[in-house]
Amino acid sequence: MHIHWFPGHMAKAQRMIREQLKLIDVVIELLDARIPYSSANPVISEIIGEKPHVVALNKIDLAEPELTKQWMSHFQNMNFSVVALDAASGNGMKNLIGQVEKIAGDKLAKLAAKGIKPRAVRAMILGIPNVGKSSLINRLLGSATVRTGDKPGVTRGQQWIKVGKNLELLDTPGVLWPKLDDQEIAFKLAATGAIKDDVYDAEKVILKLVGLLRDDYSERLITRYNLPLPLPADDSELLGLIAARRGCLRSGGIVDYDKAGRIVLNEFRSGKLGGFTLDRPNTELDGMSNN
């Protein structure tokens, strides 16, 4: 399985971000709570540099609560300001705003000391595609004024958005790194929907996902699809069994693996199979240390 994806607009997005960064007080780096490591773009870290920023773990409703706590501790131990949130429900919004205002306080205080008129905190939201940036802004505004979608690549331009009297947000396009050399990371990005479904071998990703679910979450598979024991050791055979249980059969009784695979993938992404955290914090994640 080899996944490589870097659309031309991604390079343009990086240039736009670099140009606007000098106007920003705080960067909000939005990560997917299911894959905090895999969704942490090293290009974003390089762009941010020493700019103050908050790490926001989004989609906690789709992640495993205990592992989210471990990730929170991991980032805190690395001296990051970190919040957990669910943009869809609004959980964690007040905490995020509080952290942003707190971090920006020193800069605004210095401006005030120079006699500069008080102004709203200026924050930039950065993250990979489909991590929930537009949904976060909509939740902060209280209305769906920013176009959102369940596919990566919806937000293409930049726009300033006023949130109350004390915060201005700059929305930006999602940025993936130019080369996905780590195919394990590429798989996790594909499985969670950060990479468009039409640019990778969906069959291989789905079979790998089915195997992962069998090995680490077998009880969920058995319960969701009413599967008999023992589960097949072969990924294709297991998918075929799921297809049979869900009636994914073509004329003549031929198994429709594609339809069954899409069912598993969609139910994995939507939370119908429960919460998943594919990245686990450990001592090997030193690369995420604060810049």
Q: Binding site for GTP: residue ranges?
A: 58-61, 130-135, 174
CA distances from residue 141 to 45, 51, 154, 164, 201 in whole angstroms, order as listed: 27, 25, 19, 8, 38
Q: What is the side-by-side order of every strand in the sheet holding 26-32?
A: 81-84, 53-58, 26-32, 121-126, 167-171, 159-163
The answer to whether 197 touches 5, Cβ cutoff 8 Å, is no
The answer to whether 177 touches 194, Cβ cutoff 8 Å, is no
Going by C-alpha positions, the residue among 125, 128, 166, 167 that lies closest to residue 146 is 125
Please enumerate, by residue number, every residue annotated as part of a binding site: 58-61, 130-135, 174
Length of the chain: 291
Helix (H, G, I), strand (E, B), or coil: what is residue 270? helix
Helix (H, G, I), strand (E, B), or coil: what is residue 231? coil
Specify the amino acid at residue 242: I
CA-CA distance, 141 to 263, in Å (whole number)? 33
DSSP track, 10-38: HHHHHHHHHHHGGG-SEEEEEEETTSTTT
Q: Are strands 26-32 and 159-163 parallel, antiparallel or unpaired?
A: unpaired
